[in-house]
Amino acid sequence: MAKTVGDSGRGRSHAVHRALKRAILDQALSPGAKLPEDSIGERLGVSRTLVREALVRLSEEGLVDLRPNKGATVARPTLEEGRNLFLTRAALERLVVETLAGRLTQDQIETLSAHIQAEDEAKKEHATSIRLAGEFHTLLAQMTSNASLIRYVNELVARSSLILALYGRPHSSDCAVSEHQELLDSLIAGKAEEASKLMTHHLDSITTRALLPREDDRNIKDVLSAYAAAEGLA
Amino acid sequence: MAKTVGDSGRGRSHAVHRALKRAILDQALSPGAKLPEDSIGERLGVSRTLVREALVRLSEEGLVDLRPNKGATVARPTLEEGRNLFLTRAALERLVVETLAGRLTQDQIETLSAHIQAEDEAKKEHATSIRLAGEFHTLLAQMTSNASLIRYVNELVARSSLILALYGRPHSSDCAVSEHQELLDSLIAGKAEEASKLMTHHLDSITTRALLPREDDRNIKDVLSAYAAAEGLA
DNA sequence: GATGCAATTATTGTATGCAATATGTCCGCA
DNA sequence: TGCGGACATATTGCATACAATAATTGCATC
């Protein structure tokens, strides 16, 4: 439906890239999943060449692991990488709010308010809710007009989805809507320092509130050893 | 000389990537230069396929501009992008020094000291001096063991070379060696706050000390409009 | 039944060929 | 001379073919 001319950018390789990216972020492809070039190409109606190009891009973005002669898999960050990632996010997003504090236009304020309201209304639907929460952060970044900043925040927010998919507590609202509202209020009031603190806390609390170690983080051997013992094996 | 098995990573495409990256950072290929796939492939003894893969990666790193059907050129950041980039760098490198303050091992301290000494000795050779200055920053980042942080700092430092190539004052020592020493002293003393301030100032002063507008930054229209007026045209 | 090896299959790595698009040149025409 | 259009050239976009490597299976052996 948005495909006619919308194939903008570098022809179809970008289309493939977007398709895979969406699939990953929607968790239709979960972390660790294999991504064979020809099945993907077949399914999407393009040749391996284009799939490879897309996979290279995704790997540069950190969404895909590309191991030589072994093929591509959806990235599977460790818990520690996850924590570090949120530290990095915080550093960048502090810059975002410091840049924005007291500088939001009326239009931007309305956009953000509307977004927060949408988040509030979608609280029930877990999947949507997560997506919207991420979008709030990328929306803010966008408003700085700082290209590198935008790019990195987008990347980190995307990867955060992976982290939360792997280590997120099932029923935690990962981004409390009220925190977004407070943040916005600070920004409007031009309280840069306060906004910065709120953002730090906001992201910090995700790592403590929502992240927790998962069994499936251990490798297959460790998992099976338990079953082995139960059966009197190994 | 480092090619036998050192072709590590994804076969030769990484080798191509590294070769091009070096060439760009050494300014053997200056910003705006065309990068035709087949001449590069021919020169490097690989097919266009591998060159393309390398170019895609470089474009993701922001070192190369990739325009559909128009081919690749060495990136040519605007002055404003340059300033924004240094803001972003500062945000990340503050995190670096905060992470490192008071936590450097003896080995790390020695590595950094040696590096600073090397910088001091290379003060005369402008090119080497610039490279070493950059390496100091990536070295610090490396020591945090924070993967995303390392990756972004590396990327931004690399792109800084482009910025300085375009807008750097010819004879400014872009990274004052003494500032690196002060920074290190702070880190050793564990004064996180001070180190953070030093880093901010250090990078800030690059933008004010070393960056200056260049004629060729304005786009062709603006430049020509003056001449047009002078000749009573358009 | 466990172990190691060989043959098979699946999948990636790379080069090449052809189509599509952009760029540059030359010529005719006002 | 200045302008536009057709042709020629260069370069990218994409698919396909083949080679190289890894994963898997089956079999023979102990």
Q: Tell me, yes or no, if B148 comes closer than 8 A to chain A by beta carbon.
A: yes
Q: What is the pLDDT of residues B102-153, one digit of tens each?
A: 999 999 999 999 999 999 999 888 888 889 999 999 999 999 999 999 999 9
Q: Beta A34-35 vs A64-67: how paired, if at all?
A: unpaired
Hey, are the CB atoms on A81 and B147 less than 8 Å from each other? yes
H helix or E strand, kind and range, residue A74: strand A71-74
A-B C-beta contacts closer than 8 Å: 82
Residue B4 has pLDDT above 50, yes or no: no
Residue A10's nearest nucleotide, by CA–C1', is D13
Chain centroid to Cα A208, Å, comes to: 17
Q: What is the pLDDT of residues A35-65, one digit of tens each?
A: 999 999 999 999 999 999 999 999 999 999 9
Its pTM surpasses 0.85: yes
Amino acid at A5: V
Task: Out of A10-14, A163-167, A198-202, B45-49, pick the least confident.
Answer: A10-14
Residue A218 has pLDDT above 60, yes or no: no
Query: Which of A53, A58, A88 is the best substitution to test chain B (most B C-beta atoms within 10 A)?
Result: A88
How far apart CA B73 and CA B35 sit, in angstroms, is 5
- Strand-pair partners of A66: A72
* B11 vs A68, A99, A145: nearest CB: A68
Instruction: Taking the CA atoms of A215, A216, A221 and A226 in sequence, report the sign of the dihedral they define.
Output: positive
* B85 vs A56, A62, A148: nearest CB: A148
